[in-house]
Amino acid sequence: MISQGNRHAPRNGLYVGLMSGTSIDGVDAALVQLDAGRPSLVTALNHPIPAPLATALHRVSGQTGLDALLDLDQQVAALHADATLALLARAGVAPGDIIALGSHGQTVHHRPHGPFPTTLQIGDPSLIAARTGITTVADFRRRDMALGGQGAPLVPAFHAACLRQPRQDRAVLNLGGIANLTLLPGAAEHPVTGFDTGPANTLLDAWFRRHHPGGPGYDRQGRWAAAGRTDTGLLDRLLQDPYFHQPPPKSTGPEYFNLDWLAHPRQAGSTLPAPQDTQRTLIALTAESVTRALASALPGAAALYVCGGGVHNPVLMDAISAALGDRLPGCRVAPTSAIGLDPDWVEAMAFAWLAGRTLAGLPGNLPEVTGARASAPLGGIYPAGCDTPA
């Protein structure tokens, strides 16, 4: 643990944040200016994941061999380095101008329970540092887990720093592969909390890919789901899953919410409905699980601000607005752009911000969110050294 005497404000300047989520649809890279710890977005890009690599990552499981996993670790790192260099080329900024790079890595397994809780994000940070010439901070989750936490979600600390307002209860919803909520009470004496509510794009994308092999990999603007109808019987069975009734702290991932989970007899009954009806029901599942959780945890919420890839799915956004209107009719639903944060880059910005905090010896986790025994600086630091970027 870094002593209080060694802690100082994050150094002002440019940082890079990299995020590749469970949707495996690209590497989000954000160039961020930190001034007095406050982040502002300079530029950003989504760096595509080559189709063979994306397919291999989707297939990672407990049966994946060690050699194959180590190969993926290097391929993901090279991809993240390429994303960084492409970002800097777009901005006209040299690697030597960057103070640090925060890389979340690609989660291939997250197991916060059991006798040996663990998590694994691949993308070798030593290779990223060597190829970019930038000091890299990575492996953010495991320090929190070492302190008894879930290791996720970690972005609520960033939400709190940027978006909390006095005298207004508000929430932030990230619609990535998994949906997670950050609860920002307006009263200073009430802590910020947050948790994973359940599946968002991970099931929607997987079901779409099953029925559209060779397609774009996701249901653009929810058009396919829009032609289906919600099967209320299936929805009720899905919502009976114990995860939705488990109190926070809690986190989850596609290890749990996957197509095998969807097809389990206790969920599906004898058969699933027609494919488009199933897709529409999965939209309703995300909307219901999110809004039930918000209404229970922060019943005075005046606004729900949404970020992540799901913000571009109007069918999903309309479903959330409708479900929330039934439970919290005074709660406004809007993208985070309404309060100054581009919804596409919030998570990448967060890891740039977390890198700055780690270098300054400042905590990056919120124990009220993850359940850790204490707050702490997160991740390991991989110095750039004197290497020239490849």
23 is in an annotated binding site: yes
- Secondary structure E strands in the chain: 13-20, 27-35, 38-47, 98-111, 118-122, 136-138, 170-175, 178-184, 193-199, 303-307, 332-335, 380-382
Read off the tokens for 324: 């929330």
What values do phi and psi take at 362, rounded to 5? -100, 150
Token pair listed for 157: 């600390």
Please report the domains of the chain, with CATH numbers, ordered by start residue.
Answer: 4-151+345-382 (3.30.420.40), 156-339 (3.30.420.40)
25 is in an annotated binding site: yes
Q: Does the annotation place 24 within a ligand binding site?
A: yes
What value, to the nearest 5°, has the Cα angle with vertex 132 and ends 61 and 156? 60
pLDDT tens string, the chain, 390 residues long: the values are 333 445 678 999 999 999 998 888 899 999 999 998 789 999 999 999 999 999 999 899 878 999 999 999 999 999 999 999 999 999 999 999 999 999 999 999 999 998 999 999 999 999 999 999 999 999 999 999 999 999 999 999 999 999 999 999 999 999 999 999 999 999 999 999 999 999 999 999 999 999 999 888 899 999 999 999 999 999 999 999 999 999 999 999 999 999 999 998 777 677 899 999 999 999 999 999 999 999 999 999 999 999 999 999 999 999 999 999 999 999 999 999 999 999 999 999 999 999 999 999 999 999 999 999 999 999 999 999 655 554
Q: Check residue 95 and report its DSSP letter.
A: G
Is position 26 annotated in a ligand binding site?
Answer: yes
Answer yes or no: is 192 a known binding residue: no
27 is in an annotated binding site: yes
Q: What is the pLDDT of residue 1?
A: 30
